[in-house]
Amino acid sequence: MTNEQQSRLKELRTIRRYLQGMRQGVSGPDAYKGWLTGIGIAAAGFLVARLLPSPAPGVGLIVPVACVAGVITGGWINLKGRSWRAAIYDALARYSPLNEAAYRDLQERVKEYGFDFDAVMEWTYIEQAAFMPLVPTREDLARDKFLTATRAERAEDDARARFVVLHPRKRGPQA
C-alpha cells in the first residue's frame, strides 16, 4: 500500500470514527480539550497548594477554587467546541476523493435531504473500494476458472475429484 493510500485510509477511518462517536452519543470531537484543560487547572491548584506554606491565609481555598474553576472551564470549552456534524463536514471538505462521482452523489444527497449517517458511512466504503480492490471470494474464483478453463484443466479437476483418501491420518509407509 502506498503512502497516499495509507493517508487516505487514515482520513476515511477518522470520518468513520467521527460517525461512530456521533451515533454513540459521545461528547463532541473536541471534548478531550475541555477535560484536559479542567484537569490541568485542578492539578495546578493542587500543586500551588502544596508549594505554598500552609499557615498562609487562604491556602486552604486554593484547591476547591481550582477544582471548581477547572470544571467550569472544561465544561465551557466542551460546549463551545465543534459538533460531530461540523467535524464530519470539515473532514469531508479536506478529503480529496478518488471516486468523484460517489463524492458528488453524497454532496447532492446531503444538499437535498440533510445529513444522513448511513449515506456518509456507505460513501466511505465506496471510496475505500476505489483504491483498495476487493478480495475475490471463492465463488468468484471458481466462476472465473469455469469460464476460462481448458479441456486439460477440466480433466485434471475431474481426476482430483475422484481421488479418495481412505486413511488421512496414516500417511507413513504401510506395513
Comparing 52-56, 83-87, 91-95, 171-175, the range with the smallest average pLDDT is: 171-175
pLDDT of residue 164: 63
pLDDT of residue 66: 83
Does residue 120 surpass a pLDDT of 60?
Answer: yes
pLDDT of residue 108: 94
CB 68 within 8 A of CB 96: no
pLDDT of residue 174: 55
Confidence of residue 168 (pLDDT cuts 50, 70, 90): low
What mean pLDDT value characterizes the chain? 82
Q: What percent of the chain has pLDDT over 90?
A: 23
**pLDDT tens-digit map of 36-59:** 888 888 888 888 877 777 666 766
Per-position b or e across 144-160, b if 16+ CB within 10 A of its CB: eeeeeeeeeeeeeeeee
pLDDT of residue 161: 72
